[in-house]
Structure 1
Amino acid sequence: MKVGFIGLGNMGQPMARNLRAAGHELSVYNRSRDKAEPLRQQGARVADSPADAARGAEVVFTMLSDDPAVEGVVFGESGLLAGLEQGALHVSGSTISVGLSDRLAEAHAKAGQRYVSAPVFGRPEAAEAKQLWVVAAGPQADVARCRPLLEALGRGLSVLGEKASEANVVKLTGNFLIASMMEALGEAFALTRKSGIEPAVFLELFQSVFARSPIFERYAVLIAGARYDPAGFKLRLGLKDVRLALEAAGAAEVPMPLASLLQDHFLGGVARGMGERDWSALGALAAERAGLDEK
């Protein structure tokens, strides 16, 4: 299949490599062109603009950090929307707002193009190992069309309804759960550590008694070892996702007091200059509130 891929960051780079390894013809674009070089060496064509990456492609993926980044590559004279052919499909893997997802669906429909939202759960190492979990929503025929590509990216695929933004609601809800888990882990490690218990000891107990999820266990390991650099997913992006979850909750009239608390904690981390650290640095903030030095 002829595939365009826009956004070659920590997540996009391994995802694009896996699509190329699966035998798909790939055109790639990244604002920093040097990030496209490894894929060029694997036979991908390096495009000069988002529109160029979309030209001739049957499906174009975007994997970008936030709403402004997606808007920047989709709209405008050299944007994806201008280069994508009628009937071709845009698959958005980004964690974006429900409102922007609805706007993308409307813009693509108006241009005679197709749109599927397919955000993913997993860190860069999961993307590298094809262990992502993909959540897809959009018209049934469009999801079926890109399904082989989505399955080439991960270990599982959940297909929701025909409204693309349903996938964004689920992704934001999932990230809220992860953020809540990290806050709880951070507080648990801070309490046990301040009580004289070594993090490694409590981590071993956690792994033996409580850990049933690779996600839960992975973040426990990071917090126990204060391993917040380099970031797999930046704390400032965690703030963005919790804010988007609260925005969706407000629109649906759903109170989420814990999400509001998490937003304040993430904001506190950004204010302390921790925005580029991994979002599990919620554990560092919990330790700081307990009067502990980072360990």
Structure 2
Amino acid sequence: MTGQVAVIGLGGMGGGMARALLDAGHAVTVYNRTREKAEPLERAGAILASSAVEAGTHADTVLLSLADEPAVEEVLFGELVWQLRPQTVLIDTTTVSPSYARTTATRLAASGVRRLETCVMGNPAMAAAGKLRLFVSGDRAALDTVDEVLSALAQEVRYLGEAGRASALKLALNLLLGIQTAGLAEATAFAEAAGLDRELMLDVLLHSGWRSPVLGFRAEFMQRRVYRPAAFRTALMHKDLGLALDQAAAYQVELPLGHEAATRFGSAIAAGHADDDAAAVVEVAPPSKENRR
């Protein structure tokens, strides 16, 4: 069995992954800025740390599940990195840009910490059940040393190659997710404007060839009109679309649908839905033409 695993960041995905590791028999230390998110895991057998440094200092493997690049800067480079033992494996599941991922790998090299950049596919329930799909890039040798950890988390683990590739895949998939979710919201708005009942329209979708696991998952939120607890927060969707758009500009690739989707999720945040599931975009009217100028 792999040694001590520290899980830092216990949102829906991080908390679910910590639960799966505990269920698989791993020794797990957890830390989250908001203590109450860690307490159920403590009751399930995890050791509750008072800081990221305390969680990571004695760990063989550190799993990061943070919100964004500033959080990585604060937690990893502001507190943690120089306290980790050389050869510690860092499984970083935070969604960041490919450019930032490559820079992070370079910055960590001097510390001896081995980084596995990890694109996580799934939702919090799948995380808790150990049924995620993981696409990993970075230190190939480190991948073999944490095989038991990754196997506890995922039904599939695939290695993609050099740093930046897992982040690129994650942003490409979340770009598609954002566009599809915004499109579903728009189709629902059209149906309601035509006098159709939302529940009818979405029920037809859920029992038709148009259904997909992704659209079905968001459609169920829209049917219930209840968006918490969120599986993927609107604020994070908007953040990931922004990362994809910024990186696309560097690649000189046009993403007009991505721009439109980002605008829609920005409107949802402005309307107070930042912490709701991204499906809440259905509750927000699209911005007027005047506001787009």
Structure 2 length as normaliser, TM-score? Answer: 0.90
Q: Which amino acid letter does the alignment assign opposite residue 66 of structure 1? A: D
Alignment map for 1:47-196 (pairs within 5 Å): 47-76=49-78, 79-161=79-161, 163-196=162-195
Within 2, Cα distance between the matches of 1:187 and 1:210? 18
| 1:64 Cα deviation from its structure 2 partner | 0.9
Give a deviation string over 1:20-44, Cα, whole Å, max 9, x none.
Answer: 1111111222112333222223332
Bigger mean CA deviation after superposition, 250-259 or 280-289: 280-289
Within 2, Cα distance between the matches of 1:127 and 1:84? 26
Within 1, Cα distance between the matches of 2:253 and 2:286? 31
Give a deviation string over 1:113-171, Cα, whole Å, max 9, x none.
Answer: 2001113122222222333222211122222222332221133333211x232101111
Within 2, Cα distance between the matches of 1:192 and 1:34? 41
| 1:89 Cα deviation from its structure 2 partner | 0.8
Q: CA RMSD in A?
A: 2.0
Within 1, Cα distance between the matches of 2:210 and 2:128? 23
| 1:286 Cα deviation from its structure 2 partner | 4.7
Alignment map for 1:208-287 (pairs within 5 Å): 208-286=207-285
Give a deviation string over 1:225-267, Cα, whole Å, max 9, x none.
Answer: 3332332222111111100011111121111111111111111
Q: Which amino acid letter does the alignment assign opposite residue 165 of structure 2? A: E
Q: Which amino acid letter does the alignment assign opposite residue 117 of structure 1? A: E
Tell me, yes or no, if the aligned pair for 1:172 and 1:241 is still in contact at 8 Å: yes
When residues 229 and 288 of structure 1 are mapped into structure 2, their CA distance, relative to the original with a 3 A threshold, is: farther
Give SS of 1:160's match: strand
Q: Which amino acid letter does the alignment assign opposite residue 130 of structure 1? A: G
Q: Which amino acid letter does the alignment assign opposite residue 113 of structure 2? A: Q
When residues 155 and 283 of structure 1 are mapped into structure 2, their CA distance, relative to the original with a 3 A threshold, is: farther
Give a deviation string over 1:167-215, Cα, whole Å, max 9, x none.
Answer: 0111111111111111111111111222122223222321232245322
When residues 288 and 255 of structure 1 are mapped into structure 2, their CA distance, relative to the original with a 3 A threshold, is: closer
Give structure 1 regions of 4+ aligned residues with deviation exceeding 3 angstroms: 286-289
Q: Which runs of 5+ in 2 are unaligned?
A: 289-293
Within 2, Cα distance between the matches of 1:235 and 1:191? 21
Give SS of 2:200's match: helix
Q: Does 2:205 align with 1:203?
A: no
Tell me, yes or no, if the aligned pair for 2:16 and 2:128 is still in contact at 8 Å: yes
Q: Does 2:22 align with 1:20?
A: yes
Tell me, yes or no, if the aligned pair for 1:199 and 1:225 is still in contact at 8 Å: no
Bigger mean CA deviation after superposition, 268-277 or 64-73: 268-277
Bigger mean CA deviation after superposition, 258-267 or 34-43: 34-43
Bigger mean CA deviation after superposition, 242-251 or 33-42: 33-42
Give SS of 1:11's match: helix
Structure 1 length as normaliser, TM-score? Answer: 0.90
Bigger mean CA deviation after superposition, 57-66 or 148-157: 148-157
Q: Which amino acid letter does the alignment assign opposite residue 87 of structure 1? A: Q
